[in-house]
Amino acid sequence: MKLWILLQIDGGSGIMGQVFLFGSIILIMYFFMIRPQQKKQKETKNFLESIKKGDPVVTIGGIHGKIYSIEGDTLTLELDKGMKIKVEKSAVSADFTKKAIGTK
């Protein structure tokens, strides 16, 4: 009878340990995966909202140019004198633009 009670007590602490371990894993995943991704998305959104005419940008395809005009979700980039292309606003890379501007 005493052995059965000891097994019940020990089994209950094992479940609590598993719950604690599972909760710890979820917390670690949040701080190392989910939170940084949300922060990066917020920075990218703020960058795309703050761009204006004349800003130098780099597209995700690697095209460098200056913003000639903004029409809703479409940008017209001036690559050289008289050479312009239209791209979606989402095609502008915040990371590459910051790197390219930082090196000049």
pLDDT value at residue 3? 46
Low-confidence ranges of the chain (pLDDT < 70): 1-13, 103-104
pLDDT value at residue 39? 94
Residue type, 46: N
Structural tokens at position 5:
């009670």
82-102 confidence digits (pLDDT tens): 899 999 998 998 877 777 777
CA distance 64 to 99: 12
pLDDT value at residue 29? 92
Give the angle 30-34-40 at the CA atoms, nearest 5°: 140
pLDDT value at residue 23? 93
